[in-house]
Amino acid sequence: MYVALIDYGAGNLTSVRKGFAAAGAVPQTPVNPDDLSSADAIVVPGVGHFAATSTLDEHWLDAIVAAVERGVPLLGICLGLQWLFDGSDEAPGCRGLGALTGQCVRLPDTVKIPHVGWNSLSIVRPSPLLSGVPAGAQMYFTHSYAAPLTDACVATAMHGATFAAVVQRDRVVGVQFHPEKSGDHGVRLLANFLEMVRAARQTMVTVRP
């Protein structure tokens, strides 16, 4: 299984690799966008400022969009989740992937920002990504901006305001927290993503002429 872990200089790839290894797969980092043509899954991690995502230029965007259109599952982690949306108020001139509609906004100044530490999930609707992850599961967050509540939201968390903690539209999924730092529940979520990848591979093999 080729899980492509995108390196755009804004994430701790080592911890993400360890998390996936515990879940049953070791991601590889593509050197150029063409490497995504054979990917079974794509993971976009990240921490820090939304402007860092501008490193993903048109060539990377086109390759990721093409993969998603082929049915390849895409997972965004933390900043990677925010990048799945149209953009963020943190960097108004920097557009996101646009796979999910909406704009990310800053958390309220009535609470400590950034939001760092453990917080519980409230599950909004069933998702294969959350299979075996109970309501109230504690996950590790570190962020100042958050995604809006849209019909793509499958779980929320609260820090000054309710925000989207897990999103899914078809095979495009994202988590605002760091599953690789969230203990057994985080590993379970990554394992669920890998199950989605296996199912997608089987579907894509089945429909080939």
Active site residues: 78, 178, 180
> Six-digit token pair at 150?
């849209």
Spatial CA neighbour of 104 closest among 42, 50, 57, 174: 50
Bridge partners of 87?
95, 103
Ramachandran angles phi, psi of 99, nearest 5°: -70, -25
Bridge partners of 172?
74, 169
Residues 175 and 75: their CA atoms lie apart, in Å, by: 8
User: Among the residues of 24-78, which ranges form H helices?
Assistant: 58-70
Residues 204 and 199: their CA atoms lie apart, in Å, by: 9
Half-sphere exposure of 4 (CA within 13 A, CB side): 23
Residues 8 and 65: their CA atoms lie apart, in Å, by: 17
